[in-house]
Structure 1
Amino acid sequence: MKTTIYDIAQAAGVSIATVSNVLNGKGKVSQERRQQILRIMDELNYKPSAIASALTSKRTYTLGLLVPDISNPFFAEIARAVEDEGQRLGYSVLICSTDNKDEKTARYSALLRQKSVDGVIIGTGINELSALSPLLKKNIPVAFIARDYPAEDIPSVIIDDYAGGAAAAVHLIELGHRRLAILAEPDTISSSRERVRGFRETAAAAGVEIEDALIVAASELRDGKQQAALLLSSEGTGRPSAIFCCNDLLAIGALQAARELHVDVPQHCSIVGFDDTILASVTDPALTTVAQPIAQMGQAVVQLLVDHMERPDEPRRRIVLPPRLIVRQSTVPPSQ
Structure 2
Amino acid sequence: MANTTIYDVAGAAKVSLATVSRVMNNPEKVNPETREKVLKVIKELGYRPNAIARGLASRKTTTVGIVMADVSRAATAQLLGGIIDISKKYDYAIKLFSMAENDDIKETIRAVVAEQVDGILFLNDELEPSQMEMCMSLIQDAQIPVVLCNAMYDEKDIPAVGIDYENATYDITKELIDKGKKNIYLATTVRRYSVNFHKIAGYTKAMQDAGLEPLVFRTSGDVSINTLHFQEFIKHNNIEAFIAVRDSIAVSFMNVMIKAGYKIPEDCEVVGLQNTKYAILSRPNLTCVDTPVYDIGAVSMRLLTKFMKHEDIQESKVLLPYRIVERETTKE
Q: Conserved in 2, the CA contact under 8 Å of 1:183 and 1:218? A: no
- 1:136-147 aligned within 5 A: 136-147=140-151
Contact 1:78 1:298 in 2 (8 A): yes
- 2:92 — aligned with what? 91
Q: Is the 8 A contact 2:149 2:300 kept in 1?
A: yes
- State whether structure 2 residue 306 is matched by structure 1 residue 304: no
How do residues 249-264 of structure 1 correspond to structure 2 at under 5 angstroms? 249-264=248-263
8 A Cα contact 1:65 1:121, kept in partner: yes
The amino acid of 2:158's aligned partner reads I
Contact 1:72–1:249, Cα closer than 8 Å, also in 2: no
Q: How far is 1:106 from its partner? A: 4.4
Listed one character per residue, the Cα deviations across residues 61-110 of structure 1 (whole Å, up to 9, x for unaligned) are 221223332221111001111011111111122334445x2636545433
Give the superposition deviation at 1:239. 2.5
Match in the other structure for 2:103: 103
Q: Give the equivalent residue in structure 2 for 1:288.
A: 287
C-alpha separation in 2, matches of 1:97 and 1:245: 26
Mapped partners of 2:232, 2:106: distance in 1: 35
TM-score, normalised to structure 1, is 0.73
Q: CA deviation at 1:167?
A: 1.7
Give the direction of change, closer, same or farther, for the CA distance of 1:263–1:131 in structure 2 (3 Å limit). farther
Aligned-pair distance for 1:215? 2.9
Q: Once structures 1 and 2 are overlaid, which stretch shifts more, 63-72 or 320-329?
A: 63-72
Percent of aligned positions that are identical? 20
Q: Deviations over 1:121-180 (max 9, x none)?
A: 112121112245553432222110112223242110010101110122022123321111
Q: 1:153 aligns with which of 138, 143, 157?
A: 157
**Stretches of structure 2 lacking an aligned partner (at least 5 in a row):** 1-24, 27-52
Deviation at 1:290, TM superposition (A): 0.5
Give the 3 Å change call, closer, same or farther, for CA 137–185 of structure 1 in structure 2.
Answer: farther
CA-based RMSD of the aligned residues comes to 2.9
Q: Does the residue aligned with 1:295 lie in a helix, a strand or coil?
A: helix
Where in structure 2 are the equivalents of 1:144-293 lying within 5 Å? Answer: 144-186=148-190, 188-211=192-215, 214-234=216-236, 238-293=237-292
TM-score (normalizing by structure 2): 0.74
The amino acid that maps onto 1:65 is I
Unaligned runs of 5+ in 1: 1-23, 26-50
Q: Rate the CA distance shift 1:222–1:95 in 2: closer, same or farther, 3 A.
A: farther
